[in-house]
Each structure stands twice: as structure tokens, then as C-alpha cells.
């Protein structure tokens, strides 16, 4: 099989999702660092990979792919990954959970968006207040969505799905910014299960910090 290349940055939540996914699938990938603090993502070489200037990008099956959830769905379809359940209703629930993080929290809390808000607020907004507001309310809603009979050991049943793959980096980010999620019983129970999985532990940003 051809080499898979992940254009990666250790702290990118979206890249972290793919490190988890590749690990779960046992896909041995080649990693190329795109350093976000020095804006390598805005350089022509990276814009040629992804006109959005975002990480991750993935070279796989002879194509350059972008958008982590589109890649997770592609891996599910082409590798039988099981990241989505086999029934349409279950798939809809896993997508709803995934989007509750990947659409409602992650983009708003993207560092470039938060930095723009901070930079133009004259001190009225800090990185911490921004994260507290949007990660806080987003994960509170996520906890409520988990109050559902289909929740199991993981977000949907007893198998790791795309919803868990979205949750892992979001909880990392909540911790990074000091957002208190201690009362979210279901999220914490699921995270404890997830952190037992070697592929999940191996994908943690601290293991991929190019400065580390």
C-alpha cells in the first residue's frame, strides 16, 4: 500500500483526530510538521495542499485530502473503520455528536479566531475568557446530548466512533485552557475509557510536540 502522509501540527485538534484514527486503524503514516506559530500553514507550499491554509492535509490513495471529518468518513468507507455505525439512525446520532464539537465548538475556538477577537477587543476578551465561554457552553450541551439510551462505554455504544474521535481533542483543549469540565460525568467517564486505549494515548499532543 502507498505511504500515507499526514501534514500535522501537534496542537491542532483536527490533526489530533486523524492521529487517533490512523492509530486505531493501524495505518502507519509519515508525518510532516506544518508549524502553525510560524505560519507555515499560510506558505505557498501548504496552500497548494489546502487552499484553506489549515492542517491537517493528508496524502492518501494518490490524493491530497483536507477536512478531518471528510477524511474520517472516507476512512470509514474505504477501510471498514467502523467509525460510523451500520444503521442510518445511529450514523445520524454519531454525526450529530461529532458536529456538536467539530462545528459548534472547534471552529469558534480555533486559535486564529480567538486571537482575532482578543486582538480587537482592547482587553475586553482574553484567550481564557473566549475558551471558557464557548468550550464551556459547548461541552455542557454535549454532556446533555450524551443523556441518551444509545450512549454506552463510549459516546455511541461500546465501540469507538467519530464522536469519540472528536471528543478526545476537545477535552484536551478544555484542559489546556483551564475550562472546568469536572461536573460532566458522562464526558469524564467516556474519556477515562478512551485514555486506556494505546492508539489514543499515542496520539496525544505531548507525544508529538516538535519542540518537546
Q: Which of 74, 66, 75 is nearest to 25 (CA)?
A: 75
Which residue, 177 or 204, is less far from a copy of itself as judged by CB?
177
Number of residues forming the site for a copy of itself (CB under 8 A) = 47
Single out the residue of 30, 45, 116, 185 in contact with a copy of itself (rule: CB under 8 A): 116
Strand (E) or helix (H) holding 77: helix 68-79
Asked whether position 63 contacts a copy of itself by CB under 8 A, the answer is yes
Q: How far is the CB of 101 from a copy of itself (least distance, A)?
A: 11
Q: Show the 3-state SS of 10-52.
A: CCCHHHHHHHHHHHHHCCCEEEEECCCCCCHHHCHHHHHHCCC
The three-state secondary structure class of 181 is coil
Q: How far is the CB of 120 from a copy of itself (least distance, A)?
A: 4
Asked whether position 78 contacts a copy of itself by CB under 8 A, the answer is yes
Matching residue, cell 503514516: 29
Which residue, 188 or 209, is less far from a copy of itself as judged by CB?
188
3-state helix, strand, coil in the chain (%, to 5): 50, 10, 40
Strand (E) or helix (H) holding 168: helix 162-176
Asked whether position 92 contacts a copy of itself by CB under 8 A, the answer is yes
Which residue, 19 or 91, is less far from a copy of itself as judged by CB?
91
Single out the residue of 100, 155, 167, 179 in contact with a copy of itself (rule: CB under 8 A): 100
> In the complex, which residues of this chain contact a copy of itself (CB under 8 A)?
51-54, 61, 63, 65-67, 69-71, 73-74, 77-78, 88-89, 91-93, 95-96, 99-100, 102-104, 106-108, 110, 113, 116-117, 120-122, 124-125, 129, 133-134, 141, 144-145, 147
Amino acid at each position: 500500500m502507498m505511504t500515507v502522509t499526514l501534514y500535522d501540527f501537534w496542537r491542532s485538534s483536527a490533526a489530533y483526530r486523524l492521529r487517533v484514527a490512523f492509530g486505531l486503524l493501524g495505518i502507519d503514516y509519515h508525518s510532516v510538521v506544518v508549524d502553525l506559530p510560524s505560519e507555515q500553514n499560510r506558505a505557498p507550499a501548504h496552500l497548494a495542499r489546502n487552499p484553506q491554509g489549515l492542517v491537517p492535509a493528508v496524502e492518501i490513495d494518490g490524493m491530497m485530502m483536507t477536512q478531518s471529518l471528510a477524511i474520517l468518513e472516507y476512512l470509514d468507507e474505504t477501510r471498514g473503520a467502523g467509525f460510523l455505525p451500520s444503521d442510518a439512525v445511529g450514523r445520524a446520532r454519531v454525526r450529530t455528536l461529532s458536529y456538536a464539537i467539530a462545528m459548534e465548538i472547534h471552529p469558534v475556538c480555533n486559535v486564529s479566531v480567538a486571537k482575532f477577537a482578543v486582538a480587537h477587543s482592547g482587553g475586553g476578551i482574553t484567550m481564557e475568557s473566549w475558551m471558557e465561554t464557548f468550550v464551556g457552553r459547548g461541552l455542557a450541551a454535549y454532556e446533555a446530548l450524551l443523556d441518551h439510551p444509545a450512549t454506552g462505554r463510549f459516546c455511541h455504544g461500546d465501540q469507538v466512533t467519530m464522536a469519540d474521535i472528536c471528543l478526545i481533542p476537545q477535552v484536551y483543549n478544555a484542559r489546556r485552557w483551564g475550562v472546568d469540565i469536572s461536573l460532566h460525568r458522562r464526558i469524564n467517564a467516556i474519556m477515562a475509557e478512551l485514555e486506556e486505549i494505546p492508539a489514543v494515548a499515542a496520539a496525544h499532543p505531548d507525544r508529538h510536540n516538535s519542540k518537546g
